[in-house]
Structure 1
Amino acid sequence: MGFAEKRGSYWRARYKTAPGKHLTVVDEHGKAIKFATKGEAQRSAGEAENKYRRGDWRDPALGQETFGEYASRWYGAQDLAASTMQNYKRHIEEHLLPDFEDHALAGILRSDVDRWEKKERALYAASSVKTWRSTFHLIFEDAIDEGLITSNPATRRRGRGKRAGRSRGRGPEKVVTDPLGILLIAERAALLSGRDDEFVAVILKAYTGMRWGEIVGLETEFARPGAVRVEWQLYELDTGEMVRCPPKDDSYRTIDAPPWLSALVANHIARAKLTPCACHGRTYVFCGHGAARTGGHHGAKLVDVARRADVSTGTVSNVLNHPDRVTQATRTKVEAAIADLGFIRGGAVVGHTAHWRRNGFATWLFTPAVSGCYPKKAPQEARPVPLVGEPWPGIPVRGRNASARADACWVPIARGLTPHGLRHSHRTHMEDIGTEKVLMDERMGHIDGSVSARYAHVTAGMRKRLLVGLTEQWEEALDARLEMSPRSPVRVLGGLLRARAAVH
């Protein structure tokens, strides 16, 4: 407990911070406070020690460096994967600096962090805020290691806060779909893109459980007879660059593929006449859809401004659309980059994309295929995909007055399903077949560190039963689709339906 110490004509307040270590209560200038009575000194010492134990204590003699200065220095010292560096940069620039950039490192209290989190939770998903606070915590931990501060104000104290309703912060349950839903979604995605590539990609993702980056980064040499080898992935940075990097958590693996799936991919590769991309010089199974176009101006892009200002594209977007979310110093830097480059909103670069973009694929191909509606995009609200009803299941109408020329629209298949939801669907389908956990983990690229998992091994019989089960699901989906209509405007699916009809 804190105590009072007699010093000539006054008392000073002393409190314990570690075994054998005591500090003196000081003012904002770092000078010891002289108390007239012993009681005043004891009360002040007790309050200071309680603050120290709660993590709300600050030492005016330390941590005078601002959080913005330290965060910049901290980020520059990191040497991590490009995706991790991008995420840290986004967290710091867009969510930490606006509130704490000019605060002294040692002057940030736990109560400040709690108020910040409460404000962020009112605007963003709880899972996102939790991630940003974790970055905050990591930065402070390194500051402690450097001796700049003695406690971490971003640490969560156990057993505090609401006892009920904690699960409200969890994300929504992941939407999955059945094999027929997968087939219909793949067909719609191909109709929206006007080519077979999207059909093959959706089916491959749904029947292998591959991650999005692994699908985009699948090179032709790793699409082998009877298997798909996951050796690389392509990760999209905020700058638009596609980085070729190892799969998540180094989950290198060979995924067994049924004969019909291997044939589907092999025929796609032969038909597409693929060529190496300019960015990596490698030939990928799938390439991007359409042209990169956002307007008629040929000039600097948003990513060029981000690079010049050394910020993320999200920060540039906030400067243009929500300047109140960005600090004055960052706004000035971005505005200078805009002026230097002559950036004009709505600018574009014409040319075909070498790879799918996650947001573009999900927004304009996958989500409309799943929900039957194009998403909301200012100034337009969400709207049904306009269709010409024949041939079934309908052909999307494009161009001027498309809605007036349409005579049908799609009904939802699995509203809320995302591309990653196909990975959840695959795991669910394997459970339905009765696949052994050790094989499911191998296929999904998961690691089970339990003792029981060390004694379980994949056998040829397990693999055979899984491939038979996946084939039965596929054939049942084809039969159900055949009953709806014996033909399809999607060329590759039309061929599969004709072949299936011949079997019957």
Structure 2
Amino acid sequence: MGYAEKRTGKDGVYYRARYKIATGKYGTVQDATGATIKYRTKRDAEQAADDEEAKVRGGTWRDPATGKVPFEDYASRWYAAQDLALSTMETYKSNLEVHLIPFFGEMEIGAISAFDIAEWEKEERAAGWAPSSVKGWRSNLHLILADAVDDGLRDTNPATRRRGRGKRAGRAKERGPEKVITDPLGTLLIAERAALLSGRDDEFVAIVTKYYTGMRWGEIVGLETEYRRLRSIRVEWQLYELDSSELHRCPPKDDSYRDIDTPAFLSRLLSDHIARTGPTPCTCHGRTYVFKGLGAANGAARRPGAKLVDVARRAGVSTGTVSNVLNHPDRVAEETLRQVRSAIAELGFVRGAAAGETAPHWRRNGFATWLFQPAATGWYPKKAPHDAHPVPVLAEPWPGVPARGRNASGRADSCWMPIAKGLTPHGMRHSHKTLMRGLGTPPPLMDDRLGHLDGSVQARYDHVTREMRDRLLDGLTAAWEASLDARLALCPRSPVAVLDELLRARARKVSEPHRGVLGIAR
């Protein structure tokens, strides 16, 4: 049995609760910080001692000394014991080093309270971090403290939220903005603008592919040519960008291996793209990828290469004439066209690669910031020393070609209007789900394409059929053709070569009279 030990201190008489841990070994009841609890009455001390001794006999007692391990030490051991995907390990490492250890590092693991966590959250929000980010870091903290409970270092997990605690009905302070999506025509226009910004067709094909397949960013970047099938795309790998900027080839998220059916128009678009670009194995992975990065590779700026001015001097024309040959050959006389192309062949000039080789892969931030965002919103982001500003464009040909170089804004005629302000590359995945929903696609087929897993009992009895797949492909084709018709109504031509050919082919098709079996017009 526990007992009360009478003591006298500067505050007067009090009692300590003493309980038996083992033969010849007694403990004193303490609070969460490790301080001895001083009871005002003998009865209260005896009752507390009996409760603690009952825990010892029941095997649930925890030695208060075990909770004195610093959070940083325990978190370091906890991280070292994890064996997860490389991307998850990178995330945990960043969470610990940047957000958790700086605040909780020196605190004893057993002394961390809910009030400490609330104070930490308040500081993170005051620093300007997004509520969704803070929520993710708290989830990581909750996981660590839950393991500390299992290891006997704590009795409870202070990071557990009590449902509805401190909230008013109808008020959700952490609610983020609604996810922005777009439709088939918006996708076509954004893809066209992105191609104009990059100066090539690759971005057009990639954005259209992303919208009509719902593939994740890493799956698009990591799409290898051998997995681009005749009527489908096999998702077998992704390229995940680590904090070190290294691209790690790894399985798709949550092992979502799958075959994505592709409409005939998308299959042709990808086949033509591969034939046009002639991809070769990259130096970082030794694999051949469907899409290649934009811009110079690391260190490429120091490598020699023929420049636009070199071609102009060789051909005896101005740089503007060379630019017209590359962008608007129909505006150049046949003899001048021959001279410039001859100079290009003699000097080995490669458009966009005068400074050296092109980067083997897109980078998520660069693609979103300098291609996708300006295409969707019509604005370049803020980049010191320049503030955010509209994309300056030359009005002809429609929809306007971005003006580049010195005094680009002064030479521009206009700027682009927003198509989908706030849209992100990941938003194209949401857009694909919304498109499928509008086409009446069954949930199991939507999950199958997006790589989602429905663990409900209902899903066990729901299966995908060939008829479902065919109906979806017909719907996607109809949406694509409708977007081409709408774009054709805006302007019959495009400065983007691949889209220009699509528009001309569509114009020919819709202008042809419908004929019966015997070729008689109906």
Q: TM-score, normalised by structure 2?
A: 0.78
Partner of 1:274: 279
Secondary structure in 1 matching 2:165? coil
Q: 1:265 aligns with which of 256, 264, 270?
A: 270
Structure 2 counterpart of 1:87, from 84, 88, 91:
91
The answer to whether structure 1 residue 388 and structure 2 residue 394 are counterparts is: yes
* CA deviation profile, 1:19-62 (whole Å, cap 9, x unmatched): xxx9733489968566675378589999x9xxxxxxxxx97522
For the 8 Å contact 2:439–2:475, the answer to whether it is kept is yes
Deviation at residue 140 of structure 1 after TM alignment: 1.3
User: Alignment partner for residue 11 of structure 1, among 4, 11, 15?
Assistant: 15
User: 1:442 matched to which residue of 2?
Assistant: 448
Residue 384 of structure 2, aligned match among 372, 378, 381: 378
Aligned pairs (5 A) from 1:40-439: 41=45, 61-122=65-126, 123-292=128-297, 352-439=358-445
Question: How much identity, in percent, do the aligned residues show?
Answer: 64
Per-residue deviation, 1:377: 1.9
1:52 maps to what in 2?
none
User: Contact between 2:6 and 2:16, CA under 8 Å: does it hold in 1?
Assistant: no
For the residues of structure 1 that align with 2:88 and 2:152, how far apart are their CA atoms? Answer: 25
| Maintained 8 Å contact 1:4/1:38 | no
Distance in 2 (alpha carbons) for counterparts of 1:100 and 1:170: 27
**Which residue of structure 1 lines up, in the alignment, with residue 341 of structure 2?**
none
Mean alpha-carbon deviation: is it higher for 151-160 or for 391-400? 151-160
The CA deviation string for residues 179-230 of structure 1, in whole angstroms up to 9 with x for no partner, is 1110000000000000000000000000011111110110001111111111
Rounded Cα–Cα distance in structure 1 between residues aligned with 2:3 and 2:247: 64
**What is the TM-score of this pair, normalised by structure 1?**
0.81
- Provide, for residues 90-110 of structure 1, a one-character-per-residue CA deviation record: whole Å limited to 9, x for no partner: 111111111111222222112
Structure 1 residues 42 and 225: CA distance shift in structure 2, 3 A: same
Structure 2 letter corresponding to 1:411: M
1:455 and 2:458 correspond: no
In the alignment, the residues of structure 2 paired with residue 357 and residue 45 of structure 1 have an alpha-carbon distance, to the nearest angstrom, of 62
- Superposition deviation, residue 350 in structure 1: 7.3
Residue 463 of structure 1: CA displacement?
1.4
Counterpart for residue 520 of structure 2: none
What is the CA distance between 1:242 and its match in structure 2?
0.7
Q: Which structure has the bigger radius of gyration?
A: 2
The alignment partner of 2:474 has SS state of: helix
Q: 1:281 to 1:415 in 2, by over 3 A?
A: same
The answer to which of 383-392 and 155-164 deviates more is 155-164
Q: Specify the code of the residue in structure 2 equivalent to 1:180.
A: L
Instruction: Give distance in 2, aligned partners of 1:405 and 1:231.
Output: 47
1:356 positional shift: 0.6
- How far the C-alpha of 1:167 sits from its partner, in A, is 2.9
Return the match for 2:499 from 485, 493, 497.
493
CA distance in 1, matches of 2:208, 2:504: 18
The 1-side partners of 2:172 and 2:32 are apart by 42
What is the DSSP-based 3-state SS (H/G/I as helix, E as strand, rest coil) of the residue aligned with 1:228?
A: strand
Provide, for residues 375-423 of structure 1, a one-character-per-residue CA deviation record: whole Å limited to 9, x for no partner. Answer: 1123322100011111111111111111111111100001111111111
Q: Give the direction of change, closer, same or farther, for the CA distance of 1:45–1:424 in structure 2 (3 Å limit).
A: same
Distance 1:186 1:29 in 2: 59
Residue pair 1:106, 1:148 contacting (<8 A) in 2 also: yes
| Cα distance change, pair 369–11 in 1 and its aligned pair in 2 (3 A) | same
Separation in 2, partners of 1:29, 1:445: 47
SS in structure 2 opposite 1:63? helix
- Any unmatched runs of 5+ in structure 1? 17-21, 49-57, 299-348
* Higher mean C-alpha deviation, range 142-151 or range 486-495: 142-151
Higher mean displacement: 429-438 or 246-255: 429-438
Residues 273 and 142 of structure 1, relative CA distance in 2, 3 Å threshold: same
Residue in structure 2 matched with residue 476 of structure 1 by the alignment: 482
What is the number of equivalent residue pairs in this alignment? 441
